[in-house]
Amino acid sequence: MKNIIVYISPLEKGFDIVNYSVQVAERLGLNIHYVYNVDPEVVESLREDNNISKEELEQKIIEEKKIEIGKLVESQNWNEKDITAVYSIYSGAFDKMFKTIASRNHCELVLFPVSEAGKQLHIKSIFHILDIMKLPVWCFPVGTEFRQIKTIVYASDYKKQDVDTIKALSVFATHFKAKINILHVFKGEKFKQQLIDSGLKELIGKKIAYQNIEVHSKKKNSITKGITDFSKAAFADLLVLLKRDKNIFRDLFAKGTIVKMLKKSELPILIYKK
């Protein structure tokens, strides 16, 4: 069975993170690999006793975190579940930890908790993950309880490549029996947009077997406001966004939208990479 990688930080919210991740993993049928990194720069800032080396202090912190995370993971009754969990403590910077994980081919998803206090740093870390890994990243507000995924909103820019993402998303949605609302926020002519909508609907009908998909478009001057307003009206449980990186200008545009949504959205956000 494949894994879901869960970044278990901040540890003071570790119990909430474990509970949330178990709910997600059980529905997707994925085992869990919890990860935590001990940053050498943080270790150095904590070293007050010159009689202890940086390496010794680092090892001491790692052992403490192993015990702490072990207790959090073992708080679950894994014998009653169809999934299992392991945990790893990495020494080194955040990028190093995820590059190590990226070398493995048995992972399907990254689950990343975002705290209000550390949101700026967490968003930066999320883009580091997207830069070095092909895996989708599920970001959720730390401390929140898992909410059953019944309605998914996928914010699309209506490119042909979107069909591949929608196909992957339809497999994901099957696990939750969720409805997929494909949304395009546009600023141009309504009649022209209706023709584009019809073309996408036809393409989806030919390429994708999943039936519970609808195509919507909304005219708004602000993309993020259009996404937010539609998601609220649709009672969405999950927002899906796509990060592209083949064209630097398109990627900057997409990244700007993703950053804004991560900052303001109260919904969990699943980010695919193309």
Which backbone phi and psi does 37 adopt, to 5 degrees? -115, 140
Of 33-47, 109-123, 222-236, the least confident: 33-47
- For residue 190, pLDDT over 70 is answered with no
In the chain, % of residues over pLDDT 90: 52
Sheet holding 31-38, edge to edge: 85-91, 31-38, 3-7, 107-114, 137-141, 269-273, 238-243, 151-155, 179-186, 213-219
DSSP single-letter state for residue 177: T
pLDDT of residue 272: 93
Q: What is the pLDDT of residue 198?
A: 75
Q: Among 61-65, 113-117, 245-249, 264-268, name the one with the lowest average pLDDT.
A: 245-249
Q: 179: left (phi > 0), else alpha (psi -120 to 50), else beta?
A: beta
In 3D space, the residue among 149, 236, 221, 138 whose CA is nearest the CA of residue 187 turns out to be: 221
Per-residue confidence (pLDDT) for residue 1, from 0 to 100:
65
Q: Has residue 269 got a pLDDT over 60?
A: yes
Mean pLDDT across 244-265: 71
- Separation of alpha carbons 171 and 147, rounded Å: 19
pLDDT at 156: 86
Which of 55-59, 187-191, 201-205, 264-268 is predicted with the least confidence, judged by mean pLDDT?
Answer: 187-191
Instruction: Please state which of the ranges 20-34, 66-80, 93-107, 178-192 shows the lowest mean pLDDT.
Output: 93-107
Nearest alpha-carbon partner for 178 in 143, 139, 147, 148:
148
Q: Where are the alpha helices (DSSP H) in 29-104?
A: 40-46, 54-74, 94-102
Average pLDDT over residues 129-141: 91
Residue 175 vs residue 202, higher pLDDT: 175
Q: Which residue has the higher pLDDT, 39 or 195?
A: 39
**255: helix, strand or coil:** helix
Note the pLDDT of residue 152. 98
Q: What is the pLDDT of residue 256?
A: 85
Q: What pLDDT, on a 0 to 100 scale, did the predictor assign at position 99? A: 77
Whether the ω angle into residue 268 lies within 30 degrees of 0, i.e. cis, is: no
Average pLDDT rounded to a whole number, residues 236-254 = 71
Residue 49, classed as helix, strand or coil, is: coil
Virtual CA dihedral for 120, 248, 96, 35, nearest 10 degrees? Answer: 60
Handedness of CA 197, 199, 202, 203 (dihedral sign): negative
Q: What is the mean pLDDT of residues 111-134?
A: 89
- The mean per-residue pLDDT over the stretch 169-197 comes to 84
Give me the residue label for tokens 């209706």.
Answer: 194
- What's the pLDDT at 100? 79
pLDDT at 267 over 60: yes
Residue with tokens 């949101």: 119
Q: How far are the Cα atoms of 11, 113, 161, 183 from residue 236, in angstroms, in the given order?
A: 29, 19, 23, 12
The pLDDT of 35-45, averaged and rounded, is: 81
Higher pLDDT, 70 or 159: 70
Q: Half-sphere exposure of residue 191, counting CA atoms within 13 Å on the CB side?
A: 0
